[in-house]
Amino acid sequence: MTRVCLVGDPEVNLRYELLSRETSREALATYDLERPFENSLAVRTVSVGAAVSLLNDLDWYLTRFVDEALVREPSVSGTEWLSRSLADELRNGALEAGDTGEFCKIYGLERPDPDEDGDGNDGEDEPAATDGSRARPRLVEPLYVRRTDGELPEYDLRDVPDTLVVRLTEAEFSP
C-alpha cells in the first residue's frame, strides 16, 4: 500500500483545517486517518496514482495548510518517502523507480518532551503514537543531500535519535 503523509504548517492545526471543510473532509472520508508525526495526517492508498490523485483533490488545502506532502511507495523504497513532485513524475512515467534516489532531503526526527506544552498532564490527553508512546516525533531542519555511490551523508544539523529521508526531483534539489 502507498502511504500519503501531510505535514502541517506549524501555525495551524492540520487535522482541524482539513476535516472542518466539506470538500477535504469528503476527499478523506474513505481513508483511515493516522498521525505519524506532530501536526500530520497520513492515509494509505492503493497506488502512487491514487496518492497523487488524492493530493490533487486536496491541492487548495495543501497550498494553505501543509508544509510537506509526502508519498511512500514500497516498490520504490520501504523506508524513504517521495516528494509530491517526484511521486507525480513516477505516476506519469517521466522517471523510473530506480532513477529516484540521487537527490534527497533528510529531516531530523525529534521527540518532544511529554509535557512540552506545559499543561502538567504529561501528554495524557494525547492518543498514543504508533510505537505506544504519547508524544509524536517532529520533523526538524531538513538537510539537502546528494546520494553518492549509493550512500547518503549523515544528518548533522542537530543531535536527533532518528531521521526521515525524502527523495526529491532534481528541480526541487537545485535552487
pLDDT of 130 over the 80 cut = no
Q: Look at residue 175 in the predicted model and tell me its pLDDT.
A: 57
| pLDDT class of 105 with cuts at 50, 70, 90 | very high
Q: How far apart are CA 50 and CA 53, in angstroms?
A: 5
| pLDDT class of 111 with cuts at 50, 70, 90 | confident
| pLDDT class of 8 with cuts at 50, 70, 90 | very high
pTM: 0.85
Burial class of residue 3 (count of CB atoms within 10 Å of its CB; 0-12, 13-18, 19+): middle
Model confidence pLDDT, tens digit, residues 9-64: 888 999 999 999 999 999 999 999 999 999 999 999 999 999 999 999 999 999 99
Q: Cell numbers for 169, please give them.
A: 526531483
Q: How far apart are CA 86 and CA 170, in angstroms?
A: 9
| pLDDT class of 133 with cuts at 50, 70, 90 | very low
Distance, first Cα to last Cα, the chain: 32
